[in-house]
């Protein structure tokens, strides 16, 4: 693995290796074992979008692996004033050992990898959120002891989170069922590709508009905010359209009796999920948040450890 940009770039064995490494690094941390495998290395973190979990987990992760993380806001570096991605990639490649970028356009990540000579990690784009999906799989596997054969239902906006969950679940051999309102569906091309991968692993990826059908007997119920960054002007319209997709106790009762609830955060109680669910016994949201640290350390160790 030279870069970590798109889960579709991984094989099943590479995915499982990352998860196994994440589990090992988590165990080492709990036992206070030092793992300085990135000693002397520096990660540049480019942020075009604000962040809590992404910034803290990558910065702390690099520190725990013996390296250093450098925060680079697009308001502070020249890329925010029009310097090209190609020039930025070339310059940073002379000074850093790796780049993590959290941005809007997915093409920016691809161009950084194309024009640079160091590993690039996709911290989030409008199209995908692969780091979060990897941490989600780690969380699910911790709860059920496996991934293959489990059903994961995603309810809400067909956004970057839905895309990466479809890819992750497909690679893991899960049955992913996505329910979105008409007009807010996922990328047809991406879902078709994920469904083809799922077939090779004994899983499936399906989409539709019926939230209850997607949630039926699901082992995992997942949702995300209805109003992502940049969509604030659509808030009232989206609240009306997405209300049937709210994860509430009635929705959880349709799922498997042992179902868990996941949300990538930040969450808005009373909108996409009720307080009774997100703060209830089925919720694993803070396990998810913690696992961002461990999953991303596995990514960092894999792509930067041999860089």
- Per the annotation, the verdict on 131 as an active-site residue is no
**Strands 151-155, 98-102: parallel, antiparallel or unpaired by DSSP?**
unpaired
Active-site residue identified among 175, 264, 284, 294: 264
Active-site residue identified among 3, 64, 132, 163: 132
Integer Cα distance of 170 and 21 in angstroms: 20
- Per the annotation, the verdict on 201 as an active-site residue is no
List the 204-208 sheet strands across, edge first.
204-208, 175-179, 151-155, 220-223, 260-263
Integer Cα distance of 154 and 171 in angstroms: 16
Give the H or E element holding residue 70: strand 68-73
Active-site residue identified among 3, 108, 224, 296: 224
* Chain CA centroid to CA 129, Å: 4
Active-site residue identified among 53, 129, 238, 263: 129
CB-CB contact of 130 with 155 (8 Å): no
CB-CB contact of 188 with 121 (8 Å): no
**Strands 151-155, 175-179: parallel, antiparallel or unpaired by DSSP?**
parallel
Tokens of 19: 């998860």
- Per the annotation, the verdict on 53 as an active-site residue is no
- Per the annotation, the verdict on 64 as an active-site residue is no
- Per the annotation, the verdict on 81 as an active-site residue is no
Q: Please give the biggest Cα pair distance in the chain.
A: 55
Query: For 52, left (φ over 0), alpha (ψ -120 to 50), or beta?
Result: alpha
Active-site residue identified among 3, 53, 102, 163: 102
Integer Cα distance of 121 and 6 in angstroms: 9
Residue linked to tokens 């099943």: 12
Active-site residue identified among 3, 175, 292, 294: 292
CB-CB contact of 106 with 127 (8 Å): yes
List residues bridging with 154 in a β-sheet: 178, 222
Q: How many CA atoms lie within 13 A of 301 on its CB side?
A: 24
What residues have CB less than 8 Å from 102, skipping those under 6 apart? 45, 46, 47, 48, 49, 51, 54, 123, 124
- Per the annotation, the verdict on 129 as an active-site residue is yes
Tell me which residues are annotated as active site.
102, 129, 132, 224, 264, 292
């Amino acid at each position: 693995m030279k870069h970590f940009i798109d889960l579709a770039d991984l094989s099943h064995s590479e995915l499982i290796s990352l998860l196994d490494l994440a589990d090992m690094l988590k165990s080492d941390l709990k036992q206070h074992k030092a793992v300085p495998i990135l000693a002397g290395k520096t990660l540049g973190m480019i942020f075009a979008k604000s962040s809590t979990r992404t910034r803290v987990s990558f910065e702390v992760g690099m520190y725990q692996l013996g390296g250093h993380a450098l925060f680079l806001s697009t308001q502070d570096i020249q890329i925010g004033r029009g310097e090209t991605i190609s020039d930025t990639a070339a310059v940073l490649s002379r000074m850093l050992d790796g780049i993590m970028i959290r941005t809007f356009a997915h093409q920016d990540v691809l161009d950084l990898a194309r024009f640079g000579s160091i590993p690039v990690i996709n911290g989030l784009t409008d199209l995908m959120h692969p780091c979060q999906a990897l941490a989600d799989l780690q969380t699910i596997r911790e709860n059920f002891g496996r991934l293959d054969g489990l059903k994961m239902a995603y309810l809400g906006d067909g956004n970057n989170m839905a895309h990466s969950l479809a890819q992750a679940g497909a690679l893991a051999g899960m049955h992913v069922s996505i329910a979105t309102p008409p007009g807010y569906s996922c990328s047809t091309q991406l879902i078709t590709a994920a469904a083809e991968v799922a077939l090779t692993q004994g899983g499936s990826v399906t989409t539709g508009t019926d939230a209850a059908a997607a949630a039926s007997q699901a082992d995992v119920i997942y949702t995300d905010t209805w109003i992502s960054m940049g969509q604030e002007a659509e808030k009232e319209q989206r609240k009306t359209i997405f209300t049937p997709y709210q994860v509430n106790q009635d929705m959880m009762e349709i799922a498997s009796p042992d179902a868990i609830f996941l949300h990538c955060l930040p969450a808005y109680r009373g909108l996409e999920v009720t307080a009774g669910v997100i703060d209830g016994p089925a919720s694993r949201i803070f396990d998810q948040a913690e696992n961002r640290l461990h999953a991303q350390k596995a990514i960092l160790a894999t792509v930067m450890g041999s860089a």
